Amino acid sequence: MTNEFLILYNIEIIYNQIDSTFIFRNVAGRINIFKHYLNFSSSYDLYGLDSTTLYELNNNSLTFFKSIKPVNMMADRLLKFSIGQLSDFKLKNTNYCNYMDNFFSNCNLFLLVPINVLPYEIIHYERQTENYIPIELHKNNIKNFEIVCRNQDNSEIAGLGDYIMVLEFINIRKIDYMVRILQLLELIYFWIAKYLLLQKI
């Protein structure tokens, strides 16, 4: 099933690199007055969908659906990046997932990368996006940070050689607490002076 085939029915497939899933949706800007029902009984594993579910697109309340699990294309490896427990920071918008065990718990998983290279080849991946990952600090500065990388089986990656990871921290919002404290003290002194002045009158 390809976009060339589905485009005849005003449907398109979008691959989401962030979580390694496929999104099936009605083509934006096209008039689609028909309801469409898709079944993936023979290709559910390829698209990460359920084999027994009949998926609907009615161009009204149901305009898209996506894979219910990450897609492992061409027997590749799915690298899972998360922030370790020893870090001085954590994700600001954490969620619950079961990528480490069978129980849902609060996790710091922030990136899934599908890799389809041979074991002796070099993996090169560069992510440039405006969708920044917001973090929050436990302390006033960052001294310790730990990035955990695991495969799709949630185990350490055997034979992982030398690697370089570059992280860019951007301060989006900075609060100067000292200025705020001084402003509050100034208001308090003003109220006290005004109160004493009224008492003399």
Q: Residue 55: what pLDDT?
A: 92
* pLDDT at position 141: 78
Contact 3, 29 (CB under 8 A): no
Whether 196 has a pLDDT exceeding 70, the answer reads yes
pLDDT tens digits for 28-85? 766 667 888 888 888 887 788 888 899 988 877 888 899 988 776 555 567 788 888 8
pLDDT in the model for residue 151:
78
Assess whether pLDDT exceeds 80 at residue 172: no
pTM of the model: 0.45
Structure tokens at 187: 């208001």
The chain-wide mean pLDDT, for the chain, equals 76
The amino acid occupying position 4 is: E
Nearest to 1, CA basis, from 20, 24, 30: 24
Question: Residue 55: enclosing H or E segment and its boundaries?
Answer: strand 54-57
**3: phi then psi, degrees, rounded to nearest 5:** -65, -30
Average pLDDT over residues 127-131: 65
Q: Compute the distance between CA of residue 49 and CA of residue 67 in angstroms, rounded to an integer.
A: 5
Residue pair 22/71 in contact (Cβ under 8 Å)? The answer is yes
**12 alpha carbon, distance to own chain's centre:** 22
DSSP letters spanning 59-118: SSS--EEE-SS---GGG-EEEEEEE-TTSSEEESS-EEE-SSSSS-EEE-EEEEEEE---
Contact between 169 and 142 under an 8 Å Cβ cutoff? The reply is: yes
